[in-house]
């Protein structure tokens, strides 16, 4: 992880991790991940929980360990504010087509410190692509970046 947390931040992150690791196994499973998302005010579908799990579970163990959880915290801390979404979208849209394809999404996630598998990128596109063209346009991008109320 490029950005290091302070000792105080790590302690706070560990406290939160332990809160959701209800069985004390040292990992967060799908059910516990759903609880985290609900605690954050989301009402996640199984598809959303699956997509989040796929993007966070780097070792493909089916659970999120503490290192993977720290990566998630780093990502959450760097989510762009709403007023910068268009600029971020345009930066990710490397070919200027007005849409993001799988390659652009994968590269953008990689630059943000989140290496996604082709499977995870395909799943993300499938869930976000409301017009069915196989790419993410700005409105679809904005919808997935906005916190739901």
Q: Check pLDDT > 50 for residue 149.
A: no
Most distant CA atoms of the chain, gap in Å? 47
Residue 82 pLDDT grade (very low, low, confident, very high; cuts 50, 70, 90) = low
The C-alpha torsion from 35 through 79 and 141 to 60, rounded to 10°, is -50
Q: What is the pLDDT of residue 26?
A: 95
Looking at the chain, the whole-number percentage of residues with pLDDT higher than 70 is 87
Highest mean pLDDT among 21-35, 48-62, 86-100, 101-115: 21-35
Q: Check pLDDT > 50 for residue 58.
A: yes
The C-alpha torsion from 146 through 115 and 44 to 15, rounded to 10°, is -100
The reply to whether the predicted model has a pTM over 0.75 is: no
Burial 37-59 (b: 16+ CB within 10 A, else e): eeeeebebeeebbbbbbbbbbee
Residue 137 backbone dihedrals phi, psi, to 5 degrees = -90, 175
Angle between the N-to-C axes of helices 118-128 and 46-56, in degrees from 0 to 180, rounded to the nearest 10: 150
Q: What's the mean pLDDT in 63-71?
A: 91
Q: What's the mean pLDDT in 3-30?
A: 89
């Amino acid at each position: 992880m490029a950005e290091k947390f302070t000792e105080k931040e790590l302690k706070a992150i560990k406290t939160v991790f332990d809160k959701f690791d209800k069985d004390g196994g040292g990992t967060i499973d799908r059910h516990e991940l759903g609880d985290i998302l609900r605690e954050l005010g989301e009402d996640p579908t199984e598809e959303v929980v699956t997509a989040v799990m796929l993007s966070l579970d780097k070792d493909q163990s089916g659970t999120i360990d503490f290192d993977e959880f720290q990566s998630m915290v780093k990502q959450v801390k760097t989510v762009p504010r709403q007023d910068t979404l268009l600029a971020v979208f345009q930066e990710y849209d490397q070919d200027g087509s007005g849409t993001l394809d799988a390659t652009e999404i994968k590269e953008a996630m990689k630059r943000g410190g989140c290496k996604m598998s082709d499977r995870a990128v395909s799943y993300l596109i499938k869930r976000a692509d409301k017009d069915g063209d196989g790419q993410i346009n700005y409105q679809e991008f904005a919808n997935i970046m906005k916190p739901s109320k």
